[in-house]
Chain A
Amino acid sequence: KNEVEQSPQNLTAQEGEFITINCSYSVGISALHWLQQHPGGGIVSLFMLSSGKKKHGRLIATINIQEKHSSLHITASHPRDSAVYICAVDGGATNKLIFGTGTLLAVQP
């Protein structure tokens, strides 16, 4: 079992839909990251969370430390949101990120 699990692996939505991507982890963490990766490879950091909830534009990220679970929500989805969304955890003392396998999101017009 991977230390970071994401669901779903693939998600197709219609423009305007509310989208949720889930992440569960099994290790102790100092922070959890949500990242976006477009075709071509570059990774962009969306959120870094250690507790509670953060919002940036149409994106919302939440984390429940007790449940070891985080969610990324996209409101009013748009085709430009189409990308791979990756959850990664930082164990702090481990000096590295542990990544989930990603969720491939396609938003259709």
Chain B
Amino acid sequence: DTGVSQDPRHKITKRGQNVTFRCDPISEHNRLYWYRQTLGQGPEFLTYFQNEAQLEKSRLLSDRFSAERPKGSFSTLEIQRTEQGDSAMYLCASSVGASYGYTFGSGTRLTVV
């Protein structure tokens, strides 16, 4: 197992287009998190899955954002009708439980032009 994988690493898209990102967590990790990080800031929480259940969503996750984890393994984050303000690094992390720490992916950097 090579850790948490995110794909793509970079995405440039035109305003108004839809984009989808994928996260493959460590296989035995039942908890999966999405965070968003803008330039010069720390990451901000977007959403959290335990297995396939989405248990918490941030107010940052507007109606244009949707996340899924259909079989409790990989997860996708989709942004519809992208806006320039969506430009950020989208980070995925996984865990077997808070007491055991978190493993982060390398992130997907989105640029909306």
Least CB distance, B100 to chain A, in whole angstroms = 9
For residue A9, which residue of chain B has the nearest CB? B40
The complex places the Cα of A102 from the Cα of B35 at a distance, in Å, of 15
Tell me the dominant secondary structure on chain B's binding face: strand
Least CB distance, B96 to chain A, in whole angstroms = 13
For residue A86, which residue of chain B has the nearest CB? B42
Chain A residues with CB under 8 Å of B101's CB are: 33, 45, 48
Chain B residues with CB under 8 Å of A101's CB are: 40-42
Count residues of chain B with CB under 8 A from any CB of chain A. Answer: 26
Inter-chain residue pair count (beta carbon < 8 A): 63
Chain A residues with CB under 8 Å of B31's CB are: 95
Interface membership of chain B positions 89-106, coded 1 if the CB is closer than 8 angstroms to chain A and 0 otherwise: 101010000110111111
Given known A-B contacts A33-B101, A41-B91, A92-B98, A97 and B106 have beta carbons under 8 A apart: no
Interface membership of chain B positions 73-113, coded 1 if the CB is closer than 8 angstroms to chain A and 0 otherwise: 00000000000000001010100001101111111010000
Do the beta carbons of A95 and B55 come within 8 Å of each other?
yes
Given known A-B contacts A30-B98, A95-B56, A96-B33, A41 and B89 have beta carbons under 8 A apart: yes
Enumerate chain B interface residues (CB-CB to A < 8 A): 31, 33, 35, 37, 40-45, 48, 55-56, 89, 91, 93, 98-99, 101-107, 109
A-B contacts, 20 of them at CB < 8 A, read A4-B42, A30-B98, A33-B101, A41-B91, A41-B106, A41-B109, A43-B43, A44-B104, A45-B101, A45-B102, A95-B55, A96-B33, A96-B45, A96-B48, A97-B93, A98-B45, A99-B42, A101-B40, A102-B40, A102-B42
